[in-house]
Amino acid sequence: MCAWRSRVLTGLAATWVALACSPEQGQPRPKVLLIGIDGVRPDILAEVDTPNLDALIEGGAYSDRARTTRPTVSGPGWSSMLTGVWPDKHGVTSNDFSGSRYERFPDFLTRIESLRPELRTFAVADWMPLVGDDSGGPLIGAAPDVKHVLNGYEVGWREADSLSTEIAVQELGSADPDALFVYLGNPDETSHHHGSIGVEYREAIREADRRVGQLVEAIRAREGDGTEDWLILVSTDHGRRMDGGHGGDSEEEFRIFFLASGPSAVQGRLEGTPRIVDVAVTALAHLGFQPEPAWELDGSAVGLRR
């Protein structure tokens, strides 16, 4: 365990600023990969052959009864996942991001850069509002060291997810990243296109699992010397109805999954009800950041041994 260091800022109200500490000498360096797969129903995920996600679940903490935010659409969902706060704070209540308050409640990569800029951060996504100037975005601004912007509508969602994965694998193989976010959008878009949760949707989930496998293999290729402690987080922004739609208040739309896997994760089914706002906070906690009250985070660290 690291010893937390803090300092006091004087002013009208004193605020404790918690600084992340570096790992003790000889301890593995904590690193995080967050994989966001858009629009995956946990019950359908359980029915599909997904050996790579199954292996992560077996070696980590998992819940298929986690909860997303309302409304159950991507804008508020991804905003809550990456910032750790609910829409009443980050300001995004639809797929129009123009009312966002990310300067007050930034994504976890931006927060890392503001506190420990020596850490290498990375993001790649093919839904433009997450990383590009579209619909009032981006959610993830210019702070990360590396950010790749792809357009799934132009490239094709299956192809864009493949390219996103290849870019992330290259980053893992050629650089020394500390925190990564990789977005896979094809399952959601496939379900919308076909208006169902049938064969095509399930094949898109299988394809996403293969992308997860590529990313896991890239991490394993780095771990030979035992100097890195990788936490792999996987989650989704919302569920969906039988007709492939979402945005309502049904259990099928509101229920999501939460997965934290790696040496620092507990093993087994999680008790309680993880929430989408817990994802970013869990990533920050693994990296050694102790949230301070001024951040006003709504999430908590979930599934970690410490």
pLDDT (0 to 100) of residue 22: 54
**What domains does the chain contain, in order, with CATH numbers?**
28-221+232-295 (3.40.720.10)
Helices (DSSP H) in 28-73: which residue ranges?
42-47, 51-58
Q: How confident is the model at residue 223 (pLDDT cuts 50, 70, 90)?
A: low
Which of helix, strand or coil describes residue 123?
strand
All residues at 6 or more sequence positions from 200 whose CB lies less than 8 Å from its CB, including other chains: 190, 191, 193, 194
- Looking at residue 223, what DSSP letter applies? G
Arithmetic mean of pLDDT, 128-157: 97
Arithmetic mean of pLDDT, 18-37: 78
Q: How far apart are CA 237 and CA 107, in angstroms?
A: 15
All residues at 6 or more sequence positions from 93 whose CB lies less than 8 Å from its CB, including other chains: 71, 75, 76, 87, 99
Query: Which contacts qualify for 299-303: CB closer than 8 Å, 24 or more apart?
Result: 299/84, 299/85, 299/275, 302/61, 302/258, 302/260, 302/270, 302/274, 302/278, 303/60, 303/61, 303/258, 303/260, 303/265, 303/266, 303/270, 303/274
Q: What does pLDDT average to over the chain?
A: 92
Nearest to 247 by CA among 46, 86, 24, 95: 95
pLDDT (0 to 100) of residue 3: 30
| Residue carrying structure tokens 């790992």 | 23
154 is written with which tokens?
Answer: 């132009």
Q: How far apart are CA 37 and CA 187, in angstroms?
A: 7
Arithmetic mean of pLDDT, 234-242: 98
pLDDT (0 to 100) of residue 130: 98
Q: How confident is the model at residue 27 (pLDDT cuts 50, 70, 90)?
A: confident
Nearest to 73 by CA among 192, 206, 203: 192
Which of helix, strand or coil describes residue 188?
helix
Stated pTM of the model: 0.92
With contact defined as beta carbons under 8 Å apart, do 237 and 254 qualify?
Answer: no
pLDDT (0 to 100) of residue 1: 30
pLDDT (0 to 100) of residue 11: 27
| Residue carrying structure tokens 């990383």 | 131
Q: How confident is the model at residue 226 (pLDDT cuts 50, 70, 90)?
A: confident
Arithmetic mean of pLDDT, 273-284: 98
What distance separates the 2 farthest-apart alpha carbons in the chain?
Answer: 60
Q: How far apart are CA 103 and CA 178, in angstroms?
A: 23
**pLDDT over 70 (residue 185):** yes
With contact defined as beta carbons under 8 Å apart, do 37 and 239 qualify?
Answer: no
Nearest to 254 by CA among 240, 242, 271, 244: 240
Partners of residue 17 on adjacent β-strands? 7
Arithmetic mean of pLDDT, 158-185: 98
Arithmetic mean of pLDDT, 180-194: 98
Arithmetic mean of pLDDT, 139-153: 97
Arithmetic mean of pLDDT, 93-105: 97
